A and B are shown apart, each in its own frame.
Chain A
Amino acid sequence: MGKYIIQRLVLGIPTLLGLTLLIFFTFRVIVPVDVIDVAVFDTEVVDEERDQRLREEFGLTGPLPVQYVRWLGNTLTGDSGTSFFTGRSVTEEMVNRIPTSIQMGGGALIISIVFAVPFGLLSAAKQDSWLDYITRGGSIMFYALPGFWIGTLVLVFGGKWFNWAPPIAYVTPWEDPWGNFKHVITPMLILGLSPIGIQTRLVRTQVLEVMRQDYVRTARAKGLRSSTVYWKHILKNALLPVVTVVGLSVPSVVGGTVIFETVFLVPGVGRYLLESLTRLDLYVIMATNLFFGALLVFMNIVVDVSYGLIDPRVRIASGD
């Protein structure tokens, strides 16, 4: 297994390099704006000396490949540069914001699994019953509902009927667990909606797949009760697909955190990215994208490793 994990980690490196290169060069080559103009604000006064000094301060001098490698080296040693806009260290901001985003995304993922897995299993067990139709229709509906619309509706009707608005000041769970919970639970629930749709659907398909296997037919042919077959033979083998399902919904949750952190004023990595986009804050944008990319690469590895842990066949096939 160890060898396998290392192999996956090594494959993750070009992925993240590609991602940061893409963003860096889009920024520095395609965009017609000089980043330093945005950083300076005051473009009326042409002060070449000051611009040059700022360029040096922000590490924007020299050929582009050199700039990129310099950024990469600094990031690897834990210094992701400074924000053009606030002048604060990007690394520090990220360290403060990452736990918040993980809490949001992780919570949403758990909520969606708690709802989706039972419904998916039930829907597959009672295939073509009214329960199955409702679940299938419902899962497509959940997927089709734009999460940001639900967010807007919650803000609108929460304000109209209950005089509720998301708290402006964010508190960490260490300072005030209840206050933090009250702030985070709403976006978390809404963020979980769309994954519920995808996951229910996937769990159902995967369980149906297992049901068509030969060993299930054999178990039935032996005369076992269908509930025994379902619980003992099918569910055990459907555990693996469930892991896949969780892995597959991570990207949509990550995309959702960007939206819901902004809507509900949660100071996470996603909101940091959106705030910086309008200001063309190069290093913040690079760092946040790198974080999201690395998170996905990591989650993919976690999913692959859990395959091996659950299913001995995968372990043998990967030569370990």
Chain B
Amino acid sequence: MTISEVSLQESYLLRKEPSAWTAPTRWLWMLLRRKPLGFSGLVILAIFVLSAVFAKWVAPYSYTQPDFMARLEGPSMAHLLGTDNLGRDLLSRVIYGTRVSFGISFAAVVLAKTLATLMALISGYYGGWFDKLFQRLVDIWISLPTLVILITLIGVLGQGATTMIVVVGLGNAPNASRLVRSIVVSVREEPYIMAAECLGASHMRIMFRHMLPNIAHIVIFSATVTLGSTILIVASLGFLGYGIPPPQPDLGAMLSGDGLEFMRRHPYMAFWPGVAITLIVFAFNVLGDALRDVLDPRLRGG
């Protein structure tokens, strides 16, 4: 269990529709005033996400463009973070690296949460033997060394963006489904579900029209936190050589042993990608914590 899952576990009770959810500007203001650390997380993420999305315009150079006249240079006006052993601009490589990390992690989390929500709805709503069997399988999966299995599967299946998204997404789904199921089970007891049943709504209608909207914001909120740990996993995979194949820059791979000789001569190469990963993961975690505290006062300080 990771720190993010802990905070999720603390927050699974969170299911009241918060009124502030409706007014984004007011909500942002509240976050800034009450949770400055969480707000700083939001700002950091905004910077990273925007520069990743608009990398083409933000990055000063292309990530593959070598400049042999400017190899292993320190930070300067021409290259804000310096250059690597091929004279490629480090800032541009970090920006494109975050783009890749975000893309893969985002897709994997969307896949994981969608599957988890579907399975949790079915399992938690119907209950019975299917629920029991499904929970047993989730138990089994959770008791296994996930990172080792992910590395093994990607190693065997071969590297590539699609493989990573599918393997990391499927690997995260059981964990996520446990949280969602616990909320489904509690929502199932709400009077409005009984009311819908009395009106003769079909199972499908109850699940997707009545329950889904009432658990959706939890799923979205929990995705914020899961994204942080997923980015860390994706970076670890890259570091071990199972990330995105070059020339695409990968934050994890940029730190791995191949470039070690150059890094000794030029530590900037080993510095910036790590700073980027740390900031992103940190930001996701403090933002997740702050969201939980703001949205559910009962859990404040937990």
Contacts and interface: CB of A to CB of B under 8 A. Distances in A.
Interface of A: 14-15, 18-19, 22-23, 26-27, 30-31, 127-128, 137, 139-141, 143-146, 148-149, 152-153, 155-157, 159-160, 197-198, 201-202, 205, 208, 248, 251-252, 254-255, 258-259, 262-263, 270, 273-274, 277-278, 280, 285, 288-289, 292-293, 295-297, 300
A234 to B, nearest CB: 16
Contacts of A262: 240
A254 B148 contact: yes
B37 A14 contact: no
A259 B263 contact: no
A262 to B, nearest CB: 7
Contact of B145 (A27, A198, A251, A259): A251
B13 to A, nearest CB: 13
B152 interface: yes
A23 B6 contact: no
Interface string B185-197: 0000000000000
Contacts of B12: none
A255 B148 CA distance: 6
Interface of B: 1-3, 6, 10, 37, 140, 143-149, 151-153, 155-158, 228, 232, 235-236, 239-242, 252, 255-257, 260, 263-264, 267, 270-271, 273-274, 277-279, 281-282, 285-286, 289, 301-302
Contacts of B37: 137
18 contacts: A14-B140, A137-B37, A140-B285, A143-B2, A146-B236, A146-B255, A148-B236, A149-B278, A153-B267, A156-B263, A156-B264, A198-B1, A198-B3, A205-B10, A205-B302, A262-B240, A292-B145, A296-B145
B159 to A, nearest CB: 11
A22 B285 contact: no
Contacts of A144: 228, 232, 278-279, 281-282, 285
A152 B256 contact: yes
Interface centre among B3, B153, B267, B281 (most CB of A within 10 A): B3
Contacts of B255: 146, 148-149, 152
Contacts of B152: 23, 273, 277, 285, 289
A140 B274 contact: no
Contacts of B151: 258, 273-274, 277
B264 A149 contact: no
B100 to A, nearest CB: 16
B143 A277 contact: no
Contacts of B260: 152, 155-156
Contact of B143 (A15, A23, A127, A252): A15
A306 B33 CA distance: 44
Contacts of A153: 267, 270-271, 274
B267 A160 contact: yes
Contacts of B140: 14-15, 18
Given A251-B1, A259-B240, A146 B145 contact: no
B146 to A, nearest CB: 7
Given A205-B10, A289-B148, A146 B274 contact: yes
A10 to B, nearest CB: 13
Contacts of A289: 145, 148-149, 152
A19 B149 CA distance: 9
B138 to A, nearest CB: 12
A297 B153 contact: no
Contacts of A248: 1
Nearest to B282: A144
Nearest to A153: B270
10 shortest A-B CB distances, which residue pairs? A255-B147, A277-B155, A149-B274, A144-B281, A144-B282, A292-B145, A148-B239, A248-B1, A143-B3, A156-B263
B156 A205 contact: no
B8 to A, nearest CB: 12
A292 B267 CA distance: 35
A290 to B, nearest CB: 11
A217 B101 CA distance: 48
A152 B273 CA distance: 11
Nearest to B150: A255
Contacts of A270: 148
B143 A296 contact: yes
A152 B270 contact: yes
Contacts of A258: 147-148, 151, 240
Nearest to B149: A289
A155 B140 CA distance: 37
Contacts of A198: 1-3, 6
A280 to B, nearest CB: 7
A18 B49 CA distance: 38
B143 A128 contact: no
Given A140-B282, A144-B281, 20 more contacts: A22-B149, A140-B3, A141-B282, A143-B2, A146-B274, A146-B277, A148-B239, A149-B277, A149-B278, A152-B256, A198-B6, A201-B3, A201-B6, A202-B6, A251-B145, A251-B146, A255-B148, A259-B239, A277-B156, A289-B148
Contact of B156 (A31, A140, A202): A31
